[in-house]
A and B are shown apart, each in its own frame.
Chain A
Amino acid sequence: MRITQGTFSFLPELTDEQIKKQVKYCLDQNYAVNIEYTDDPHPRNTYWEMWGLPMFDLKDPAGVLMEINECRKTYPNHYIRVGAFDSERGTESLRISFIVNRPSHEPGFRLERTETDGRCIRYTAHSYARLSEPRGADK
């Protein structure tokens, strides 16, 4: 199941050239670009692991792409996303975030139903990626 989170996720994978152009736009807007990765694509998993620190004062996307490639080399089978933080007063939050790497096989989610009071059903989603490999067992 293809994970669709963040901007551009319904488009074909961005090429490095396209990633560069998106990052260039972010840098031109004075956003601080950061790279995050995770093996758990659960929609409620908001905070992914950070790859290094956010990159401030960059002028050119080549540096960001260098880090993306480093991260891809280390975690070829993780989800990797690029985020751009706008520190402008009144915004002070993430402006854009898009996935730049995903595992070759995306197992999707298992839906768990729990019956509660009055035949009410509660649903929980579990990522299969997490079930087959418990936390801490990084490849």
Chain B
Amino acid sequence: MGIHTLDARRLFCPMPVIRAQNRIKTLAKGDILEVTCTDPGAKNDVPAWCRINGHEVVSIETEDDEIIIKIAVGGK
């Protein structure tokens, strides 16, 4: 199990979702992806994408203007 990071700052939805989706394609089940975003819309869109595609949002943290979404990669 690996921990990976994705910088999606300054991108507006749906780009953070697209970047997360494309990165997750390269990861294995159980891997963790930490996505850092600045678009508040990502707080809704990334979890929605995870729910419908079988991945789990482990946590969503906000630091200043940055949102860090931690995703556990599910079966694909």
Whether A associates with B in a native complex is: no
Q: Which residues of B contact A (CB under 8 A)?
A: none
- A interface residues with partner B (beta carbon < 8 Å): none
